Amino acid sequence: MAPTKPAVEHTVDRTPEYEKFIEDLRAFHEKRGTNFDPEPKMGNFTVDLLKLFKYIVGHGGYDKVSDEKLMWRKMCEGLGLMRHNAPADAYTLKQIFYKNLAAYEIKTIHNKEPPPPEILEFTTAKGGSLLTRTLETFQAKSKADREGSTEDGTPSRERRAEETPTSSGRASRGLREAPAPRVIFHPDTNPSRQSRHASGQQSGASGSAAHSQSQSQGQQITQSHVNTPIAMHHNHQHPSGRGGHSISYNPPDMSNPLVNDYQLQPPPQVPLRIVDTPASNPDLFARKQRLLRHPAAPAPNPGALVRASVPPGTLDGPNIYERCLLSLRSGIEAEQAFALNHLVKISYERGDKYKFSQFSGLAEGLTEFALGVGSMFYHIEWTISNDPYYDGGEIGELDGINGTDDILERIAQLSRKDVQDTFQSAEFSDRLMLVTEAVLTIRNMVMLPENAWYIAEYPPVKDLLCILLHLPSLEIVVELKHCALDIAEQITPYLVLDSDDPLYKTLLAQLSSSDRGIILTSLRAIGRIAMNHPTETNKLGGVSPATLQRILDWLLLNDDELLDACLDFLYQYTAVVPNLDVMLEGTSVEQLVVHLVRLLSHGAKRSNREVVVSEAHIAYEPVSNEYVPPIPKDLQERLLAMEEPERCFAWLRCMFEEDPDAQITQIAIWQAYNAAFLEPVKRMGRAMINAPEFIRHISTVHQNANAQVVREGTNGEIQKFIMRGIRSRTYPINTDGRGYFMCKWYRAPGDPLKCGRWNLTAETMWQHILIDHLCEAPGEDGKFHNRESPLICLWDGCTKYPKPVKLQLAQFMTHIKTHLRAEEALRRASTGTAADAPTSLSSSTPSKRGSLSGSGSGGSKPRVIKPAKTITLTYEETASARDERNPNAPPQAAGIPLSAVLILRNIARNVVKTRAEERFVKGSGGGADDGTQQEGGAGGEQQQQQQGGEQSRGEQGGWNERLFRPVLPRLWEVFTENRLLAPYVTSLFQLLERNKEEFVFER
């Protein structure tokens, strides 16, 4: 089973904050005297300690997370670190935080002094309550843990077999528990009362006496233990029973120091011997009295007497790991059943710590036991021979050093037993379950890369996989076959298999199965062969055309997982030139290329985006260069109150604006300024600014304006002094930037002149029309009388009331408001706020009566906004992923589209090197000269047409032309729309073009 992909992808963000955090942690651990791993690993993931610290502290800290059940698993999921084994991942994450961040959290977050390293970093991450942990409480808890069950994933002896959930239709896989060992207490023969001499020296030499006494007792116990055989007791139950177990097997001094490291217990305390008294242990003294009354009773076992005199906990025997290993290698069925049941749980929960390299003989024991499946279905007993001079031996003897080369031939010769799916004996079912547990243990352990590499170096495992995968097609062995394929998927990256290797042939044979899981895992196992080998590659030879066609057919299924596995296989297969010859001869490669091009858009999301070609800008229509509108009266009075050159600056800002395409003569600007201020300034007794200084101030106010001299006339004899880069405003603005309204009311019916008065607001314009043009006078209360009279609208361009119509005054003035709104829109457009202007206005139509110079319009139209020019582009987004080595890099193509384009590249690169390409070229170019062309008749014409067609195809570029020409339009479309695949499609085009040039050159 493939590991579950995490919902959140965990990466290390190497930001300045991260670097500072790591440096602070390193300094903290150096001061504390503990080891620090700045980039701990969880499988293939590198853990970001800053993210981990913030995430755990955000959820309350280490103690709170440890107190809640299954909370560390949720932390793994939230950080994107969940892999195939949830309990092991949770414990690993907890251990990483415990070793690197727990003390730092206590110091920086809780502002407390963390416990010493002896009870924190130097111990396991078992339990919580770090904030209240002291040396006394930790020692008491450790002693209680040693007497009871453990928390680190090892089986507890108090757990009942019936508490383990059972799977449907199968016997329970609950752990078999070992009963408490029988301990026969030996009465103490030392005197209970101390002598007067001893009591007198007790106060002075208590420490040395206790030390010498314990040392002498230890020597006595060791000597007695060596010379006396240890009693072993076995519960001789039926092998099929689920209660088979080891009672008390305590071999002397056989514990593995590597195994003991898993417990990581604190240094053992000096055992204190409890003195039995008649009050504390009356049964002991009662037994002494009975022994005195019956001296002829047989003496107890000397070994038991020695054991009874040893304080409890001194000789506990091997831990659960070593015990399972010894039970497995013992050859006793009950012991093996006990070991296998525990090994399944240990390999599942401690898969990241349980390693073959630390338990000598574990891989061999599991393999030998799993080989027992042969005798259950065939008349064969598989054995492993470690003879260096192995010469084949018997049919059931396997080469344990180099592997059995003819294992498939031996399996084919086996005689099958009559085993049915429906009926089996109890002994058969229990034996099959134990074999399944052995294979399942191997499968769980090889999920760790170190274990996979280790067992790949053990040749009998390959023979075991071949035997398991060639078992009869029965439902009872389906689980065994799936476990075998999972093992093969994990170890094939470390194997180099040629086309004659039995395991490689066995995996290829699984592709003819109808089981999707078997097909999927087999494809993955084949695709991973020699993946981690530095020099060797998997050439995938010996694949039959029927198997290839079956893989091509699976590409048509709507199954992304199977599709991905098939594409991975084809990518490696098409990378070898001889394989393409097999594919061209046995399959339809043209259809494969068409389907691969179709897969370039697998799971794509199409979206449209508008790209701005040119920004929006203001454009002007042709205007009169010499016209400057008259200055409004109120603006003139405000400017007269200023002194020069401020008056000049203000007038230029209010009456002119910048336009890079416009120009106006200098004399026109000077005359307009004199017309506005010369007479009023003389009456005020002030001096006007001179012309040269005035012209220089124009460039000061409008920086883009500059004085120029242009020549006109046929020979350029007329000089014209202009200011380029400015133009007069259609609607002047006041010193606050507000634009004026111009009254476009004709003075009288038929009069070509307009009023031309400037008003700053629409309200004053409305009052001006009502009083000055309609001759209405307000009443005493300031309101106008709503009388009914013949009224005519003389506004420029109005066609609604061209003749007098009898209307009420309020109704007519409502009509006048429409002209004012249009005029306000034109004013906003002229002053740069055209977003509020309506798109169609009646007042924007040209006047039928025309306009004269000085009438107020100036013969110009307001500036308009040219919208931005845009084009719509279609984008296609397919699967993408970020580079784990460079998380800050942009996303790269991934998934099925990437695999498809890589296969297309392999085909384009290698098809020109095949023998099929040579035959194709020779067949296309040699037909006219080989003397086989027939003249006359229908047959001759048909052959001539066929040879001509082949010749034209061959001259165009061979197989690449034949395969890729029909899909070139779609490839160009992907190139233009898919940004992630564009580099790969570009390299494909380069291959096609280079191959075509080479083909033409060779021709």
The string of pLDDT tens digits covering residues 47-95 is 888 888 988 998 888 888 888 888 888 888 888 887 777 888 888 888 8
Could you tell me what percent of the chain has a pLDDT over 70? 74
656-665 sheet: strands from edge to edge: 656-665, 718-728, 706-712
Question: Do the Cβ atoms of 799 and 788 come closer than 8 Å?
Answer: no
Domain(s) labelled CATH 1.10.10.10 in the chain stretch across: 624-728
Tokens 């047959």 belong to: 939
- The set of residues, in sequence order, having a beta carbon less than 8 Å from that of 123 and lying 6+ positions away, is 138, 264, 265, 266
Cβ-contact 887, 11 below 8 angstroms: yes
CB of 879 closer than 8 Å to CB of 895? yes
Q: Give Cα 959 to chain centroid, integer Å.
A: 39
Lowest mean pLDDT among 193-197, 375-379, 565-569, 790-794: 193-197
Q: Which of 374-378, 389-393, 437-441, 977-981 has the lowest mean pLDDT?
A: 389-393
- The neighbouring-strand residues paired with 611 are 871
**Whether pLDDT at 722 is above 90:** no
Where do you find CATH 1.25.10 in the chain? 344-599
Q: Which of 959, 253, 854, 307 is nearest to 583 (CA)?
A: 959
999 confidence band (pLDDT: 50, 70, 90): low
Least reliable range by pLDDT among 277-286, 618-627, 644-653: 618-627
CA distance 139 to 115: 13
Q: What number of residues does the chain have?
A: 1003
What CA–CA distance (Å, rounded) separates 237 from 248? 16
Q: What is the mean pLDDT of the chain?
A: 77
Segment 612-617 mean pLDDT: 76
DSSP state of 739: B
Cβ atoms 352, 88 nearer than 8 A: yes
480, pLDDT greater than 90: yes
pLDDT at 317: 67
- pTM value surpassing 0.75: no
The amino acid that residue 200 corresponds to is G
Sign of CA dihedral 821, 823, 826, 831: negative
pLDDT number for residue 184: 52
When pLDDT is cut at 50, 70 and 90, the band that residue 147 belongs to is low
Q: Residues 698, 652: contact at Cβ < 8 Å? A: yes
Contacts of 208 (CB under 8 A, 6+ apart): none
The answer to whether the CB of 710 falls within 8 A of the CB of 722 is yes
> CA-CA distance, 684 to 678, in Å (whole number)?
10
pLDDT (tens digit, 9 = 90+) per residue, 733-764? 888 888 887 888 887 887 778 887 887 777 88
What pLDDT does residue 310 have?
A: 47
- Poorest-confidence range of 31-45, 251-265, 585-599? 251-265
The radius of gyration of the chain's CA atoms, rounded to the nearest angstrom, is: 49
Q: Which of 489, 450, 493 is nearest to 3 (CA)?
A: 489
Confidence at residue 507, expressed as pLDDT on a 0 to 100 scale: 95
Mean per-residue pLDDT, 653-678: 85
Which fold is adopted by the domain 624-728? Arc Repressor Mutant, subunit A (1.10.10)
What is the pLDDT, as a whole number, of residue 653? 87
What is the CATH number assigned to the segment(s) 16-148? 1.10.150.60
Q: Tell whether the model's pLDDT for residue 861 goes beyond 60.
A: no
Residue 266: predicted pLDDT = 52
Mean pLDDT for 566-575 is: 94
Mean per-residue pLDDT for 602-625? 74
Could you tell me the CA-to-CA distances from 881 to 527, 677, 884, 886 in Å, in that order?
Answer: 21, 73, 9, 11
CB 615 within 8 A of CB 868: yes
pLDDT tens per residue, range 240-254: 333 343 334 444 444
pLDDT above 90 coverage of the chain, percent: 29
pLDDT of residue 142: 65
- Of 642, 837, 861, 679, residue with least CA distance to 654: 642
Top-confidence range, 174-178, 297-301, 750-754, 944-948: 750-754
For residue 822, name the pLDDT band (cuts at 50, 70, 90).
confident
Contacts of 493 (CB under 8 A, 6+ apart): 452, 528, 529, 530, 531, 532, 533
State the span(s) of the chain assigned CATH 1.10.150.60: 16-148
Q: Is the pLDDT reported for residue 215 higher than 50?
A: no
Predicted confidence (pLDDT) at residue 269 exceeds the cutoff of 70? no
Mean pLDDT, rounded, for 112-139: 81
> DSSP per residue over 861-886, as a string?
PPPEEEPPEEEEEEEEE--EE--TT-
Highest mean pLDDT among 25-34, 788-797, 800-809: 25-34
Give the burial string for 926-949 (b: 16+ CB within 10 Å, else e): ebeeeeeeeeeeeeeeeeeeebee
* Alpha carbon distances (Å) from 890 to 560, 604, 875, 881: 25, 18, 17, 9
Quote the distance between the C-alpha of residue 966 and its chain's center.
36
- Using CB atoms within 10 A of its CB, is residue 140 exposed (0-12), middle (13-18) or buried (19+)? exposed
| Higher per-residue pLDDT: 231 or 97 | 97
Q: Which CATH number fits domain 344-599: 1.25.10, 1.20.1050, 1.10.150, 1.10.3470?
A: 1.25.10
Backbone angles phi, psi at 923, to 5 degrees: -70, -25
Higher pLDDT, 199 or 463: 463
Residue 468 has pLDDT above 70, yes or no: yes
